[in-house]
Structure 1
Amino acid sequence: MTAVETSPADPAASTESAPARRPIGLAIFLILTGAIGWWGAMELITERVRLLLDPEYTLNCDINPLISCGNVMESWQASLLGFPNPLLGVAGLVAPIAVGVALLAGARFDRWFWWAFLTGVFGAYLFVHWLFEQAVYAIGALCPWCMLVWLMVIPMFWVLLLWCLKSGVLINSPRVQRVASAVWPFTWVIVLANLVAIATAILVQFPTLISLLLG
């Protein structure tokens, strides 16, 4: 009797092999957003150190009265936990880089790990929105390097959330996976809407910003 071979097109075979496939796209995305965000946080630390060493130093992110890291650094919000906020970014943004590299190497994580990782990224997502609200409505100035970190953390959260839901690494629910899989191709719309809402709030609060940048 000839053994029946399972073809790649066999639904059963594809279902079994799917979890073993490395999420290369997610891995690269985590590495890129984590690295760029880390660079932005590191630039803030570097500028702060230079200013401490030379009080006459002009920060490279002081462009005009509204786009000014210096004004933000002087606020209490810039050191919420008693030390400069960018230290949180320098330390925390190593995590997505490490996870991305591990995924590229073929690592597979338990459910508890994905919950912990997503919770950490969600915390960063909430924190950058709080910083945005404080910068726009309390401090009255915007920090370019801070905004670069925002620009990385926001898509990182949405992409990670929807990937985790559609991949079933958070909860074993076919219904949730189907919904998340249907939404997944439109993740960029959610990210864009989030960023546009922030940009709109900034322009409404600072209507002279465009003229200052053009001038």
Structure 2
Amino acid sequence: MIGIVVPVLGIAATLLATSNKSGSTAAPTPPATTAPHDSPTPGPPSSSASTPEGSPAAPPPASSPTPTPTGSKQVSLTTLDPVAYTSFGASTATLDGKAYDDSLVSSAPCPFRGDIEFNLGKQWKKINLAAGMDDNSVPGSVVLTISADDEVLFRGSLSLGSVRELHLDITDKLHMNFHYDGGGSGCDGSKRWIVLGNPSLSN
């Protein structure tokens, strides 16, 4: 009898263990987490995205001279970009002992001639300036011609120690040109500088 009970108890224990195993639920494994990160800030599309493959890129806009300022009653000519020039630049100068801090001065090319031209845009009525040769020049003379739209407004000789105070009418003028010529073909202009002293445009 004892031999029979032991196997029965063993079978019952086995059944109980099996029942407990099948009724239990395993805890779910938590999902793997990653460190938070900032999403990239959207930006403008690149040129390669906006231009079809194989299409030529649009050429950059051509540079142009600074337009004549508008809405001003007076402005220095030196603030405008020339449309064409040779041997001129903005600088300080002295004419017959007087300083002109806002001037256009020649760079004494060889031969001794040059010019500079501006787009006035038909926006100005008067130009005032002092014309002469810088006090650091060697003695000599040069002919200065000022024209606007092919009309000669002034033509005269400039010499060391002499200043021409000019007040010219430029009403409805589009382009204005300053041309100087020392004559000859040599390099005698290497120590002579033409000055357009404090050139001022006004309405």
Instruction: Please give the TM-score of this superposition, normalised by the length of structure 1.
Output: 0.20
Larger Cα-atom Rg: 2
Instruction: Decide which structure has greater helix share.
Output: 1
